[in-house]
Structure 1
Amino acid sequence: MGRLFWKILLTFWLTLLVAGGVTGIAVWLHHSALQDIEKDVVIRPSSVLAVKAAANTFLYGGTAAMRNMLQEQRDEAPQGLQIYAVDPNGKELLERTVSDDTLQRVRASLGKNLKLPIVRQVQTGAESYLLFAPLAGQYPQFQQERRLPPPHRISTPTLIISGITASFLSSFLLAWYFSQPIGILRKAFHAAAKGDLSQRVTSTMGSRRDEIADLGRDFDDMATKLQTLMESQRRLLHDVSHELRSPLARLQASIGLAHQQPEKVASSLARIEHEAGRLDTLVGEVLTLSRLESGTPQPLDEYIDILELADAVIDDARFEANALSRHMVFQCDVEDSPIIQGHGELLYRALENVVRNAIHHTPENTAVTLAIHQNTAASRLYLTVDDQGSGVPEAELGSIFEPFQRSSNASTSRNGYGLGLAIARRAIESHGGTIRAKNLSSGGLRVEISLPLSGNV
């Protein structure tokens, strides 16, 4: 058992013991007071009602009315319950006899705050009376019957031991209920600190529906995300090392060829320059992707005219498309230039990567279409890029936005590393947007980008 368990156990146990002790003392004092007064006063529901009736009669009708009530009570039921009214001088209203010892104990009971109103002191003006039903002289049944349960039916040590045992068991169960899931969480955190992110705690907590269970679910979510991130980082490291191996091997081969065949130094240098450029491009894209995936917030403090951004992308893409015997088509049904708040360079890279990817996948003598639409009601801007290639298998539509993922339909001669769409997705999501791909019924692939307009980022 941990320290928290003992703290909870002792705290609740001592609290229950103190509360039980105080309650027991209060009950014992009240019971003792009733035992003292029951020697002189009738303690029954009927006596409580009769005393209350006499008090109300005196308060609302005066002494004469109460005298008449008590007189009728004695005449009609001489052997029944009788209420006495005694003034401060010890004289009973109907001149019935009451012993001085009885009066002394009855007056003393007024200061003991008895819960049952079997004795009442009433006063109006200068007149004051003590109302009660004395046991002496009453009908014999009141003297023979016991009005309170006999004391000490259960011995005091037995009661104390039972109370201590019950309070300990309840405190033990409560402490275990709170500390047991915390122990499970502690073991899970300890395992996570050692690198084991497969630990999950929700299933071991049972059917709990409290804040500790919520903490367990949050731990599971955290562990799942960390595990996914670690696996993604390991996969990225593996893919980067794999992609670096080929150009580095070609660099080494070119250097070796230059040493062995000095007459081919020029061609070897050209190959070295080409491979160095590819390495530079790969490292740049990896750094960009790493920066976007690091979770570091990008400054989104620029106001970007999306039409100007699209024109810049199309101008650059058209040059590359013409060299590959493709051409660009631009469609726009937006009247006013929509403004997007964000990071201009990231948005440019995202849109450029999508367009360049479409150019390299559409066949020769076909077009890539960039279209812009605006949904004013939803304050969203939609950009679609369509090519006329072979599309992507449905099972791969979601994975093409992952790093180093290429479609199985892609040409093996295609230069690239599978990072362009991954960078585009991270850049779009950092602006509060979404990006998705779908195959067109007419053939080809459509990539749809949704961005919030200025003020909705």
Structure 2
Amino acid sequence: MRLFQHIFATFCAVIICAIFVASFSFWLVQSTLAENQFKQRRTIETALMNSMITAFRSRGDSGAREILTEWKDNPVSNVVFVIAGDERKDILARTIDNKTIERARSFAMENPKSELVHIEYDRFGEEYLFFIKGWDNRQAKRLPSPLFIPGLPLAPIWHEFIILSFIILVGLFMAYILANNITKPIRILGRGMNRVANGDLETRIAAEVGNRGDELAQLAGQFDQMAEKLEKLVAKERHLLHHVSHEMRSPLARMQAILGLIQTQPHKQEQYIKRLEGELTRMDTLVGELLTLSRLETSNIPLEKEPLKLIPFLENLIEDSQSIAVQNRQQVVLETEAKIPANATVCANESYLYRAFDNVIRNAMNYSPEGSTISVHIRQEGKHWLVDVTDNGPGVSEAQLPHIFTAFYRADSSANKPGTGLGLALTQHIIGQHQGQISAENVQPNGLRIRFSLPKAKAADKVRKKPA
């Protein structure tokens, strides 16, 4: 059975059951109320008759007549009778059939202690019959009940059919609306999933589902987010595949050309082999960076981290960069604010963090002119350490600045520079694995500043690694 049919049938069953439960409850309430009213009325009737008997015993029939006259405005007095002597007449001359009188007298003779029918004698021995009309009714009279809808007033059966038909039609209509309201977003979601499965990653369904404000609308929004992320992921993979193919094709073509030169010019074999080794090194670097990037993007296992003192780490990094800086006639200097403690600590994987900073510093040296200074400035801001690496190069256009951390993206200023285009992408992923952030901005009059933001190590992190 389809979900719509299942929900529709369930709603119909619930509505029909609710109709009969409500009708039965109405009938039960009516019956209980009638029974309570009957008992209250019978209590009042009994009290009136007892008062009349007491008055009769003390003052004769005039006493009983007096009590009954006092109650004449109360409907209860209409059902309490006093039949005097052999004439079988009510003391107030009210009409009552002889058959009822005889039945009451017989009942009183058989049940002398009854509170509903009683025989008394005056001082002359004349018989007086006190009784409540309808004494033989032990419970309230049940009103006739309709066949299909108990609790309603009695009416022709075709009235019931009209009422039932109207209720059922309204119930079916409401059940259809409710079932459709629930299953329509699910059908839309199913069609959207089929389109995504068939490759249409631009599929969005939140607008079609509408602003319902319920869990199904939230599910549609989450579906759109998933589709958008899938679209970006596939586009990224296609972009990556395109650039990997291009980057691999170029060195392979050069290597093929070098092999051809070796065959045609064997006397220059040593020179060409060195060029071949250079191309192999570049290809190995590219493959290594691709593997690292893939591992960082897809691995669900966090990096192994331990407390790392930031200032000694940066000092070692800058010292390792000095050999290249000297060749380029450049300087790499570390600047720290006075309030930065010497034991400023982060929780990090040292080798990966070294690679991230090394990528940025090497880029800064590549794009800075001879005789320039690359500054590495460290300061604190709240719960983070901020490290700025600033060069004196041409910078990056504002339009291209947001894209420099994308794999294989090369800005105009780097078009003629060596590299794979993966360094900053790797750096961003490494910093992300350290719960940090990286950003870039141009500085005036020229240059580019790369800012690292790394969270300070917590107390628990600082004691994680105990000395051996």
TM-score over 0.5 (shorter chain): yes
> Which of residues 442, 445, 450 is equivalent to 2:445?
442
Number of the residue aligned with 2:172 = 168
Q: 1:151 to 1:329 in 2, by over 3 A?
A: same
SS at match of 1:438: strand
- Counterpart of 1:192 (choices 186, 190, 196) is 196
TM-score for the superposition, normalised by structure 1: 0.77
Q: Which amino acid aligns with 2:21?
A: V
- Indicate whether 1:103 and 2:135 are aligned: yes
- How far the C-alpha of 1:81 sits from its partner, in A, is 4.5
Please name the residue that 2:432 is paired with. Answer: 429
Partner residue in 2 for 1:315: 319
Q: CA deviation at 1:149?
A: 9.2
Structure 2 counterpart SS, 1:199: coil
Question: Alpha-carbon deviations, 1:289-335, whole Å to 9, x = none?
Answer: 11111142332332222123212221222211111221111112222
SS at match of 2:379: strand
Q: Alignment partner for residue 151 of structure 1, among 154, 157, 162?
A: 154
Q: Distance in 2 between matches of 1:233 and 1:184?
A: 28
Q: Is the 8 A contact 1:372 1:381 kept in 2?
A: yes
CA 1:88 to 1:250, structure 2 compared with 1: closer, same or farther past 3 Å?
farther
Query: 1:435 is matched by which residue type in structure 2?
Result: I
Question: Aligned partners of 1:428 and 1:299: how far apart in 2?
Answer: 11
Ranges in structure 2 where 5+ consecutive residues have no aligned partner: 56-64, 81-112, 119-127, 143-150, 462-468
**Per-residue deviation, residues 246-285 of structure 1 (Å, max 9, x unmatched):** 1111101100000011111111111101111110111111
Q: Which secondary structure does the structure 1 equivalent of 2:139 belong to?
A: helix
1:194 deviates by: 2.5
Would you say 1:418 and 2:424 are equivalent positions?
no
Match of 2:116 among 90, 93, 109: 90
Aligned match of 1:279: 283
Matched, 1:360 2:369: no
**Pick aligned residue for 2:308 from 304, 308, 329:** 304
Cα 1:22/1:267, change in 2 over 3 Å: same
Aligned residue type for 2:445: S
Listed as ranges, the matches of 1:26-425 within 5 Å are 26-28=25-27, 78-79=72-73, 81-82=75-76, 89-90=115-116, 99-100=132-133, 102-105=134-137, 107-109=138-140, 151-152=154-155, 155-333=159-337, 334-375=340-381, 378-410=382-414, 412-425=415-428
Counterpart Cα distance in 2 of 1:83 and 1:309: 110
Q: Secondary structure at the match of 1:450?
A: strand
Larger Rg: 2
C-alpha distance in 1, partners of 2:180/2:295?
A: 46
Which residue of structure 2 lines up, in the alignment, with residue 137 of structure 1? none
1:230 CA drift (Å): 0.9
Amino acid at match of 2:236: S
Distance 2:263 2:73 in 1: 137
Letter in 2 for 1:358: A
- Cα 1:386/1:82, change in 2 over 3 Å: same
Cα distance change, pair 320–163 in 1 and its aligned pair in 2 (3 A): same
TM-aligned CA distance change 1:33 to 1:444, over 3 Å: closer
Residue 91 of structure 2: aligned partner = none
The change in CA–CA distance for 1:455 and 1:75 in structure 2 (over 3 A counts) is farther
Cα contact 1:298–1:343 (8 A) shared by 2 = no
**Paired residue for 1:13?**
12
* CA deviations over 1:326-356 (Å, ceiling 9, x no partner): 1111112222322211222211111111111
TM value normalised by structure 2: 0.76
Aligned residue number for residue 123 of structure 1? none
**Is 1:73–1:82's contact at 8 Å kept on the other side of the alignment?**
no
Contact preservation (8 Å) 1:390, 1:443: yes
Comparing 283-292 and 23-32, the one that deviates more: 23-32
Compared CA separation, residues 88 and 190, structure 1 to 2 (3 A): farther
Task: Please state how far the C-alpha of 1:98 moved relative to its aligned partner.
Answer: 5.4
> Matched residues in 2 for 1:393 and 1:98: separation?
113
Q: 1:149 to 1:257 in 2, by over 3 A?
A: closer
Equivalent residues, number: 395
Is the CA contact (8 Å cut-off) linking 1:74 and 1:82 kept in structure 2? no
Paired amino acid for 2:116 = G
> Cα distance, 1:29 vs. partner?
5.6
The residue type paired with residue 414 of structure 1 is K
Unmatched 5+ residue regions in structure 1? Answer: 42-47, 113-147
C-alpha distance in 2 between matches for 1:72 and 1:302: 108
Higher mean alpha-carbon deviation, 344-353 vs 2-11, is at 2-11
- 1:162, CA displacement in angstroms? 2.1
- Cα distance in 2 for partners of 1:324, 1:25 equals 97
One-letter code aligned to 2:288 = G
SS at match of 1:296: coil
The sequence identity of aligned pairs, in percent, is 33
After superposition, the CA RMSD in angstroms is 3.5
CA distance in 1, matches of 2:275, 2:443: 39
Residue type of the alignment partner of 2:226: M
Q: Is the 8 A contact 2:34 2:140 kept in 1?
A: no
**Structure 1 residue 163, shift from structure 2 partner:** 2.4
Deviation of residue 36 (structure 1)? 10
1:445 CA drift (Å)? 0.8
CA–CA distance in structure 2, aligned partners of residues 163 and 302 of structure 1? 72
CA contact (8 A) 2:72 2:78 kept: no
Q: Distance in 1 between matches of 2:324 and 2:67?
A: 119
